Structure 1
Amino acid sequence: MRAGFPAALLRALVGAAALWLCAAASAQQLGGSIELMSDYRFRGVSLSRERPGARLSLSLDDASGAYAGLSLTSIELQPGQRQAGLQGYAGFARALNDALRWEAGGSYSHAVQASPGVDRYNHGEAFAGLLAPSWSLRLYFSPEYFGWRERTLYAELDAHTPLLPSLELIGHLGLLQQLGRDDARRVDSRLGVVLHTETGLAWQLAWLATGKSGPFPAPYDQRRSLVWLGASYSF
């Protein structure tokens, strides 16, 4: 599906950010992670056909407040067609006061084409948010959500609090709304714990749940709630 002007603009901006990420990595703060998960869920919806998935992520932060990142994830948007999903993002963050920051930016998701028609899932988003030490609130706008030519807004609230020195409680609440349709909205949630180790490895156990309405990027039947397990290594 051919991308409209807003999505093409987002793709161009994120592409430029990816070039900056590669060119400036030697001089800025570069980080990354490798993650294994029991099911790759995006906003409550499985994009791996409820099968285990893996993700490699790289991020770059500049002292000016600019940041960018790239991630590569195993996905299965159509039954039996395992492929890679590439996402790039870029943004800028600045402090409002000692405890609160604002941010704005854009992202672009690209399904690496393994068969005809898969590229229709490509889409871009613009986002803005408020960040605090223990919580974050973000709003995302997509002109063509997963290539469906449907404009969407997604709001999410994430929070975490320590339970023990190496254990924290995490929570997430999200709402996806298809613009122009009052009956097309979906809520997703996550509640879990993360165990951090001194080696950089983190274990996560969570309960995930999502509604049955709203635009779905993956066409196959899937559970709306499940226990989820993940392990990640940061470097």
Structure 2
Amino acid sequence: MSFFSSQATWRCFPWVALLSLTGASCHAQSHAETSPVSSASAAPAEPSAPAYALTGSVTLLSDYRFRGISQSWMGPALQGGLELSLPRGAYLGVSGSSVSRHSYLDGRALELDLYGGWRTELLPGWTGDIGLLHYNYPGARVPRGDGSGGVRYDTTEAYLGVTNGGFSAKWSLALTPYFGLRDSTAATAFAEALPGSGSSRGSSYLDLNYQHPLGDWAVLGLHAGHTQVRNYSELSYADWRVSLARSWGPWTATLAWAGTSADTRYYRAANAAGQMQSLGRSGWVLSLSAAF
């Protein structure tokens, strides 16, 4: 997933995190959040679950938001994911999402996430989760400012999380440059040029969520997050989401209102015709998912 846009005629912005009951992402985040789709961010499985279990889901979204930023140019996206639970709380997973070509230049309009980790009970009622997540954008590259080719958007993060009842918190740390942002791409990675200030490796994201059942009718979801981009403070921002989810059988429908404090000078993208979209503006996100 990436949050950058290129300055040339396209002005792009990248994209992903998880399939979630709130509906929205491809990576590891409960993304009804509206972010890539990955079970990595979904609520941790119970440590007492069977030694081996394969689960999955498919989600259709009206807008794919990753950490509050649209990865689908404010349009629909299709996501899917599989997770294999292993003995002693270990797990492996893969998820994918369509993304906008206006955000991921020269790519296949696809995000693929691979993740793995370990979940365990820390205290009665408290579950811990630690793991690694790799975001891959086949063929997509951030152009270098000097025109000498491009740099991959691909990013690897480590994450640490805890869950208690309806509350969950997770902190993610970028082990590589954050979706391609470095000295050589600072002038072209976003809609407005930035001076090269070094590598963005070490950027982080804090993800806070609370889910509260409204009787048997629906589940209220509250989310707050903060993206800290190392060496590029202009790109740091907060995001939030309020959602209502209703499930029947394997199906879950979610309606969410999501927004960010992202600086629109940077978090925007244009198509080939020059039509501009602000990718972090507040808006409604509707999703429908099926678990299997």
TM-score (normalizing by structure 2): 0.66
Structure number with the higher helix fraction is: 1
| In structure 1, distance between residues paired with 2:222 and 2:180 | 29
Paired residue type of 1:222? S
**CA offset at residue 57 of structure 1?**
0.6
**Structure 1 range deviating more: 74-83 or 41-50:** 74-83
Pairing of 1:28-177 with structure 2 (within 5 A): 28-78=52-102, 83-113=109-139, 120-142=152-174, 143-149=176-182, 150-151=200-201, 152-177=203-228
The match for 1:196 among 247, 259, 272 is 247
CA distance 1:135–1:216, change in 2 (3 Å): farther
Paired residue type of 1:233? A
Structure possessing the higher relative contact order (Cα contacts under 8 Å, 6 or more residues apart)? 2
Aligned residues: 208
| In structure 2, distance between residues paired with 1:148 and 1:182 | 13
**Structure 1 range deviating more: 164-173 or 43-52:** 164-173
| In structure 1, distance between residues paired with 2:227 and 2:206 | 7
> What secondary structure does 2:139 align onto?
coil
| In structure 1, distance between residues paired with 2:65 and 2:227 | 14
Q: Which runs of 5+ in 1 are unaligned?
A: 1-26
Pairing of 1:11-22 with structure 2 (within 5 A): none
Q: For the Cα contact (< 8 Å) 2:204–2:228, is it kept in 1?
A: yes
Q: For the Cα contact (< 8 Å) 1:76–1:82, is it kept in 2?
A: no
| In structure 2, distance between residues paired with 1:225 and 1:129 | 27
Paired residue type of 2:158? A
| In structure 1, distance between residues paired with 2:151 and 2:267 | 12
Q: For the Cα contact (< 8 Å) 2:108–2:139, is it kept in 1?
A: no
| In structure 2, distance between residues paired with 1:214 and 1:106 | 30
Identity %: 29
Structure number with the higher strand fraction is: 1
Q: For the Cα contact (< 8 Å) 2:253–2:287, is it kept in 1?
A: yes
